């Protein structure tokens, strides 16, 4: 490269592409075609030479900016243009040989699917109509589609990528944006059509003025595709009298206005149901095939909530797992569960039962008195939100355990209730097969009696062979215990319980005993270093896994 005039006049690169070469490389980049071996070799030459050539251009441009070459500065635009043309050409060459071009379309579509934002899965109010439009139109896919023609085809022609629709027609937001409603409806229709016949996951909250009819109409055109559906509307949609629902597996809805809807009677794959509201008349659903049911009564009058639960348990003759959110704070639980009702005694085949309960100066006797659970394997009972835990009735639970045969099949018990140590031990003695015990102790400023005490821990100590004057331990098959406590027990009782359980596990060769102890901020005392040292010694001998620490509940009770 010469100095002065020859630098400016004769400077160029042998690798600078012609206009034809630039068009060819852009066309190849837009397609998904792989280059031939000869073309690939040429591209590799450009890619290898480009860094040094670009450095030459940068050096020439810097020199032309110097004062001594100012007379040749009018060549700077040409040389700069050539530099950018070569850089762009090299970038296209690299993209042609990029590994992603070797990926099959299906794998690229899966990668696109992983880019799906969380807002498309979760129904939550959007802050603006623009955010709602982005969600409805799958804006993230539209951005990917602009990368190249190949990505455009994948994004637009892969129905799976359009198989999740979330729309929240919230009145105030949509009413403020009347001029954009038609655009939003068009975007929704576009997204639905792109999904073609692929099973549809739908999250829809339609509570605006006159807009729901248009939204529901669009969604119902694709009812044959519905797979997992959450649907909330402030008025009954125009349900079709009959529909093909072969894809539907999960349905979540508000029961209001659905009592006489027979649309979902023929949904052969429907096994999961979540609903709320009073069951004034039994919804027309294929109850016998439902395996997983969640019922929320928190917006329901107390008496109707109680009877609704009994309806559900009676109708779902093959249910495996059931979750109940029951709020009895308005009226006493005993009044809600009328012992003279013809619905009082219900037998359910449920295996896993979750009850989140809120009561007011009452207990759970009504629930325990009203059901028989001959197949129950796992029971979870704890308060809703910030409510006071329910009062545990030992006599009613023991009666439930006896008529349900808990001593032969209940293996998991998780409770957060108000119960004395004596009553809890009485209940545990009816659970011979229990393997996992999970207890969160209730605390209050009124210094309520503790549940996890020396008496409770001593009842769990496994009686050593040959010992006399000792009653048999409660829950003889216990394998794991999780305690959240105010630490109202002695070190020796806790260590003795762990030691006996560790020994019992070793004796019958059933593995290691697992224990976890967490303590509240408000506790009766601190864990001493001595007890932790003794537990560490037990762990070192084998047969025991232990964990401990401060308890930080996700939800704090009002009176904690």
pLDDT tens digit sequence for 184-194: 888 889 999 99
Please tell me the least confidently modeled range out of 23-27, 127-131, 338-342.
338-342
DSSP conformation letters of 362-413: -BSHHHHHHEE-TT--EEEEEE-TTPPPPBP-HHHHHHHHHHHTHHHH--EE
Taking the C-alpha atoms of residue 222 and residue 231, their distance in angstroms, rounded to an integer, is 14
Judge whether 543 and 503 are in contact, CB under 8 Å.
Answer: yes
Half-sphere exposure of 147 (CA within 13 A, CB side): 17
Taking the C-alpha atoms of residue 102 and residue 90, their distance in angstroms, rounded to an integer, is 19
Write the CB contacts of 98 (distance below 8 Å, at least 6 apart in sequence).
none
Taking the C-alpha atoms of residue 42 and residue 47, their distance in angstroms, rounded to an integer, is 9
Which residues of 35-183 form beta strands (DSSP E)? 164-169
pLDDT at 254 over 90: no
Q: How far is CA 12 from CA 18, 49, 54, 93, in A?
A: 13, 14, 11, 20
**Helix (H/G/I), strand (E/B), else coil: 272:** strand
pLDDT classification of 310: cutoffs 50, 70, 90: confident
Location of structure tokens 């949609």: 237
Two tokens, residue 544: 């025991």
Please tell me the least confidently modeled range out of 364-378, 392-406, 416-430, 440-454.
440-454
Write the CB contacts of 211 (distance below 8 Å, at least 6 apart in sequence).
169, 174, 181
Taking the C-alpha atoms of residue 362 and residue 296, their distance in angstroms, rounded to an integer, is 20
Q: How far is CA 154 from CA 103, 141, 157, 263, 528, in A?
A: 12, 10, 5, 35, 63
Judge whether 76 and 11 are in contact, CB under 8 Å.
Answer: no
Taking the C-alpha atoms of residue 435 and residue 495, their distance in angstroms, rounded to an integer, is 19
| Residue 360 CA, distance from chain mean position | 31
**Helix (H/G/I), strand (E/B), else coil: 95:** helix
pLDDT over 90, % of the chain: 31
Write the CB contacts of 79 (distance below 8 Å, at least 6 apart in sequence).
8, 11, 57, 60, 61, 64
| DSSP conformation class of 161 | G
Q: Which of 379, 366, 426 is CA-nearest to residue 406? A: 379
DSSP conformation letters of 297-327: -TTS-HHHHHHHHHHHHHH-TT-SEEEEEEE
What is the arithmetic mean of pLDDT over 206-219? 73
Q: Which helix (H) or strand (E) holds 203?
A: strand 200-206
CB atoms within 10 A of CB 393: 21
- Phi/psi class of residue 210: alpha, beta or left (left: φ > 0; alpha: ψ in -120 to 50)? alpha
Domain residues of the chain, as ranges? 5-101, 103-238, 435-560
Compare 475 and 521 and report the one with higher pLDDT: 475
pLDDT at 177 over 80: no
pLDDT at 413 over 80: yes
Location of structure tokens 């009842």: 459
pLDDT at 129 over 50: yes
Taking the C-alpha atoms of residue 415 and residue 393, their distance in angstroms, rounded to an integer, is 13
Q: Which helix (H) or strand (E) holds 230?
A: strand 226-233
Taking the C-alpha atoms of residue 254 and residue 230, their distance in angstroms, rounded to an integer, is 9
pLDDT at 555 over 90: no
Judge whether 209 and 171 are in contact, CB under 8 Å.
Answer: yes
pLDDT at 79 over 60: yes
- Percent helix, strand and coil across the chain, each to the nearest 5: 45, 15, 40
DSSP lists the bridge partners of residue 363 as 391
- Give the gyration radius of the chain's Cα atoms: 35
Write the CB contacts of 210 (distance below 8 Å, at least 6 apart in sequence).
none
Location of structure tokens 């837009």: 30
What is the arithmetic mean of pLDDT over 120-147? 81
Q: Which of 87, 94, 177, 186 is CA-nearest to residue 137? A: 186
pLDDT classification of 209: cutoffs 50, 70, 90: low
pLDDT at 349 over 50: yes
- In degrees and rounded to multiples of 5, residue 35 shows phi and psi of -70, 155
Taking the C-alpha atoms of residue 407 and residue 433, their distance in angstroms, rounded to an integer, is 6
pLDDT classification of 32: cutoffs 50, 70, 90: low
Two tokens, residue 346: 């219900």
Q: Which helix (H) or strand (E) holds 516?
A: strand 513-519
| DSSP conformation class of 94 | H
Average pLDDT across the chain, whole number = 81
Compare 95 and 491 and report the one with higher pLDDT: 491
């Amino acid at each position: 490269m010469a100095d002065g005039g020859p630098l400016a006049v004769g400077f160029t690169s042998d690798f600078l592409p012609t206009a034809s070469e630039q068009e060819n490389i852009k066309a190849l980049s837009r397609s998904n075609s792989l280059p031939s071996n000869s073309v690939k070799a040429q591209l590799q030459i450009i890619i290898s030479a480009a860094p040094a050539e670009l450095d030459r251009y940068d050096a020439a441009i810097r020199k032309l900016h110097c004062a001594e070459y100012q007379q040749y500065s009018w060549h700077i635009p040409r040389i700069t243009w050539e530099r950018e043309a070569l850089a762009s050409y090299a970038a296209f060459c690299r993209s042609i040989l990029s590994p992603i071009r070797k990926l099959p379309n299906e794998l690229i579509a899966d990668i696109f699917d992983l880019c799906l934002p969380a807002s498309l899965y979760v129904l939550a109010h959007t802050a603006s109509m623009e955010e709602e439009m982005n969600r409805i139109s799958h804006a993230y896919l539209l951005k990917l589609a602009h990368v190249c023609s190949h990505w455009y085809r994948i994004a637009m022609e892969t129905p799976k990528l359009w198989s999740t629709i979330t729309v929240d027609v919230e009145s105030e937001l949509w009413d403020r944006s009347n001029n954009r409603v038609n655009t939003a409806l068009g975007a929704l229709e576009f997204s639905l059509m792109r999904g073609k016949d692929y099973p549809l996951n739908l999250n829809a909250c339609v509570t605006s003025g006159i807009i729901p009819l248009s939204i529901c109409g669009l969604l119902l055109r694709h009812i044959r595709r519905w797979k997992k559906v959450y649907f909330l509307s402030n008025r009954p949609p125009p349900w079709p009298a009959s529909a093909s629902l072969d894809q539907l597996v999960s349905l979540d809805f508000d029961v209001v206005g659905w009592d006489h809807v027979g649309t979902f009677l023929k949904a052969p794959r429907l096994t999961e149901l979540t609903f709320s509201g009073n069951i004034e008349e039994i919804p027309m659903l294929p109850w016998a095939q439902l395996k997983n049911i969640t019922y929320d009564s928190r917006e329901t009058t107390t008496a109707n909530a109680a009877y609704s639960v009994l309806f559900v348990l009676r109708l779902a003759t093959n249910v495996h797992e059931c979750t109940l959110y029951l709020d009895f704070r308005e009226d006493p639980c005993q009044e809600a569960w009328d012992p003279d009702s013809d619905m009082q005694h219900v037998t359910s085949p449920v295996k896993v039962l979750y009850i989140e309960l809120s009561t007011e100066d009452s207990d759970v006797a009504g629930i325990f008195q009203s059901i028989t659970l001959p197949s129950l394997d796992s029971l979870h009972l704890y308060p809703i939100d910030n409510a006071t835990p329910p009062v545990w009735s030992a006599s009613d639970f023991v009666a439930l355990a006896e008529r349900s045969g808990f001593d032969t099949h209940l293996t998991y018990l998780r409770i957060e209730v108000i119960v004395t140590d004596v009553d809890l031990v009485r209940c545990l003695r009816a659970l011979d097969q229990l393997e996992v015990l999970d207890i969160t102790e209730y605390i209050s400023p009124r210094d309520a009696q503790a549940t996890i005490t020396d008496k409770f821990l001593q009842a769990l100590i496994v009686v050593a062979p040959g010992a006399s004057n000792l009653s048999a331990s409660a829950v003889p098959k216990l394998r794991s215990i999780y305690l959240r406590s105010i630490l109202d027990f002695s070190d020796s009782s806790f260590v003795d319980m762990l030691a006996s359980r560790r020994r019992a596990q070793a004796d019958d060769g059933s593995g290691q005993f697992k224990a976890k102890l967490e303590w509240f901020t408000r506790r009766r005392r601190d864990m001493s270093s001595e007890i932790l040292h003794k537990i560490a010694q037990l762990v070192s001998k084998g047969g025991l896994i232990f964990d401990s620490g401060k308890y930080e509940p996700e939800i704090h009770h009002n009176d904690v």
